């Protein structure tokens, strides 16, 4: 049940992402929320494994703050990598 909240939160982050400069023409609009969902899932599993309870505020705070941070930096890294690949492909055609 708790995982559904993480999925719902990732969907909300996906709706907000284009308005906070995360969107790019180098990847699809579902990539940032997918990064957020993957990072939230990994954080949730890791924190559960470390012994955090599902009713503890810490697990929710860490996951809810970690997802947008991972989404932002993951999208920026992906954008930079794709930009470099595009520049290399353009240089190869000259």
Report the alpha-carbon distance of residue 74 to residue 78 in Å, rounded. 6
Whether 94 has a pLDDT exceeding 90, the answer reads: no
Residue from 49, 11, 52 nearest 32 by CA: 11
Average pLDDT taken over every residue of the chain: 89
Residue 65: band (very low, low, confident or very high) from pLDDT cuts 50, 70, 90: very high
Mean pLDDT computed over 66-79: 93
pLDDT (0 to 100) of residue 27: 83
Angle, nearest 10°, between helix axes 2-16 and 31-49? 150
State pTM to two decimals. Answer: 0.85
Answer for the pair 43, 62: CB distance below 8 angstroms, yes or no. Answer: yes
Q: Bigger pLDDT: 87 or 29?
A: 87
């Amino acid at each position: 049940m708790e995982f559904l909240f993480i999925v719902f939160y990732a969907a909300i982050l996906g709706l907000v992402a284009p308005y906070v400069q995360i969107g790019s023409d180098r990847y699809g609009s579902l990539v940032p929320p997918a990064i957020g969902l993957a990072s939230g899932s990994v954080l949730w599993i890791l924190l559960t494994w470390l012994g955090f309870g599902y009713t503890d505020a810490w697990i929710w705070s860490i996951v809810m703050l970690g997802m947008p941070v991972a989404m932002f930096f993951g999208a920026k890294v992906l954008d930079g990598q794709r930009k470099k690949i595009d520049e290399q492909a353009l240089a190869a055609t000259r």
